[in-house]
A and B are shown apart, each in its own frame.
Chain A
Amino acid sequence: MTQTVSRPAAGARKQPLPLDVEAIRADFPILSRTVRDGKRLVYLDSGATSQKPRSVLDAERDFYENHNAAPHRGAHQLAEEATGLYEAARAKIAEFIGAAVEEVVFTRNTTDAVNTVAYALSNAATAKEPSFRRYAVGQGDEIVVTEMEHHANLVPWQQLCERTGATLRWLGLTDDGRLDLSDLATVVNERTKLVAVTQQSNILGTINPLEPIVARAREVGALVLVDGAQSVPHQPVDVTALGADFLVFSGHKMLGPTGVGVLWGRYEVLDALPPFLTGGSMIEVVRMEGSTFMPPPQRFEAGVPMTAQVVGLGAAVDYLQALGMDTVLAHEEALTAYALEQLQAIPGVTVIGPPDTVARGGAVSFTVEGIHPHDVGQVLDDLGIAVRVGHHCAWPVVRRYGVPATTRATFYVHTGYDDVDALVEGVRAAQRFFGVTPEEATA
């Protein structure tokens, strides 16, 4: 028997979206272009990198056109203005995450921020200054990660362990895409020096319960690094409430420019860490025999920084704050609920990750039976829909769920129900194109 799959009536599950999508789209110049022979761009790849509103582009351009100089050097007027703008952006970003200004270090991106901490911990072992040895990692110590981590929050810790002789341990995953905390008390133990965990999975969308992990780390005196690359852009994050020692995130995933990321660290911890990269800007006194270093954050910002990008990130934070992060979160929750329901209604589609919106963000990964994700992505691309396909820099996760790769849609402030509808239609088009429409099987 052939039967048309019943679909909810149009708009049945479409709760009014908290954000005015049309007004927001008008702020993003790239969203007015077309792709693949005149098709509207349906951008569902913000999880890889977000598009930029005009105000961010204007802030960068204004910096270069009117204020460009190397900050923290020189006494001329432009240098003063550049320094002022750079530090004002730092203050803005600090306030955005509830941090003190001197706790915000600018890095290139999340990867760079993680490496800054990982190398500080191994450099600590050989630091000349005793004050820098407090968090040294060595033989017999353990670093804990999770099986859910992006490669950026996994490989640097593997490498730290290889350099120092420490042991890498990890928390596993449950079948429904959540962290398995059943062995938390043994995996995180007296030998643990640091726990690195993502707040929101870039592939599963899972929002992790950080409280028990932070609490256990505190019990054993371990540091906690939270990967906020997928959380800070999409939900309110307050470092005080987080209770961690480090929070790392990227500007380009939160409407800001590429080339700028943030390492937030509790001041007391940052102050006890040796630098990773050394050179100009981060020194106190340099003699031929040796040098001393500035306090944080300058200690971790060697060289002329990405000044225009930092200013652009400040403008991105302004944009997000004007929308309100609670509203951004609610907007994405509504979209995610709709997308999960619509996608899971398609026979042959399996969502990889939590099937509902409980503790879940707007990253929806799925497989389509009989069609490789690359081929799904190609059909979607042909329709103007940009998604991510592959292992999403989280190879252990796709391996854990027994799939070679997934197709992933990620949502942001300019995403509307029309985008999700386009995705759902596109998946059906892929099934038709490859002749794997399994309606009959389920009828």
Chain B
Amino acid sequence: MQLQSMYQDIILDHYRNPHGRGLREPFEAEVHHVNPTCGDEVTLRVHLDGDTIADVSYEGMGCSISQASVSAMYDLVIGRSVPEALETGEHFMTLMQSKGDPAVAEKLEDELEDAVAFAGVSKYPARIKCALMSWMALKDASARAWGGQGA
């Protein structure tokens, strides 16, 4: 059974007990992203303190991968600066493009913490978008929030 490689316990834990779920005030930007092939949706808000991400709050519906991904992302980006968080997002993207190469996962382990558990997803092209949706939403929201603040 190949399933365990995708559904790591860490992923299922995040799915069942999501971290940071719910929409909160205050926020500088809110975005709504959908995955049109399957109907997964996430509404995500970003609250910045200077260039630091003070809060990411979200509501969404979707599969275990998409919901666990946003929860793991929440843990990774709170308290980081926007450029740091976006760089982490790039690393996550690299992991998703790794086609299950264990060397890539190993290299990114420290950087991605729990999110490295998504390495197994990279072997399933149809599911990569599920894992990436929340990171795309974060990129979009933080760009808007940051742009709004800097202007």
Contact = CB atoms under 8 A, between A and B. Distances in A.
A378 interface: yes
B61 interface: yes
Given A391-B38, A395-B39, A433-B7, A375 B63 contact: yes
B103 interface: no
A382 B127 CA distance: 14
A391 B62 CA distance: 12
B38 A390 contact: yes
Interface string A25-41: 00000000000110000
Contacts of A378: 3, 6-7, 124, 127
24 contacts: A36-B2, A372-B63, A372-B64, A373-B63, A374-B38, A374-B40, A374-B62, A374-B64, A375-B65, A378-B6, A378-B7, A378-B124, A378-B127, A382-B2, A390-B37, A390-B39, A391-B39, A398-B39, A404-B40, A404-B61, A405-B38, A405-B39, A433-B3, A434-B64
Interface of A: 36-37, 372-375, 378-379, 382, 389-391, 395, 398, 404-405, 433-434
Interface residues of B, number: 19
Interface string B113-131: 0000000000010010010
B151 interface: no
Given A374-B127, A390-B37, 18 more contacts: A36-B2, A372-B63, A372-B64, A375-B7, A375-B63, A378-B7, A382-B2, A382-B3, A389-B38, A390-B39, A395-B39, A404-B39, A404-B40, A404-B41, A404-B62, A433-B3, A433-B7, A434-B64
Contacts of B62: 372, 374, 404
Contacts of A434: 12, 64
Interface string B27-70: 00000000001111100000000000000000001111100000
A374 B63 contact: yes
A375 B68 CA distance: 12
**What are the nearest 10 A-B pairs in CB distance?**
A374-B63, A372-B63, A390-B38, A391-B39, A404-B61, A405-B39, A382-B3, A375-B64, A375-B63, A404-B39
B11 to A, nearest CB: 11
A157 to B, nearest CB: 19
A29 B3 CA distance: 28
Nearest to A389: B38
Contacts of A36: 2
A405 B66 CA distance: 14
B133 to A, nearest CB: 12
Nearest to B2: A382
Contacts of A389: 38
B59 to A, nearest CB: 13
A390 B63 CA distance: 10
A155 B37 CA distance: 16
A390 B62 CA distance: 10
Nearest to B65: A374
Contacts of A379: 3
Contacts of A404: 39-41, 61-62
Contacts of A405: 38-39
B70 to A, nearest CB: 14
B120 to A, nearest CB: 11
Contact of B1 (A373, A382, A391): A382
A309 to B, nearest CB: 25
Contacts of A37: 2
A374 B61 CA distance: 12
Nearest to A36: B2
A405 B64 CA distance: 13
A372 B127 CA distance: 13
Nearest to B1: A382
A374 B2 contact: no
A395 B34 CA distance: 12
Interface in B81-131: 124, 127, 130
A36 to B, nearest CB: 7
B7 to A, nearest CB: 7
A433 B130 CA distance: 20
A366 B111 CA distance: 40
B84 to A, nearest CB: 31
Contacts of B41: 404
A435 to B, nearest CB: 8
A374 B130 contact: yes
A395 B35 CA distance: 12
A236 B45 CA distance: 53
A398 to B, nearest CB: 7
Nearest to B124: A378
Interface centre among A374, A390, A434, by most chain B C-beta atoms within 10 angstroms, is A374
A149 B109 CA distance: 46
A373 B65 CA distance: 12
A407 B131 CA distance: 20
Nearest to A398: B39
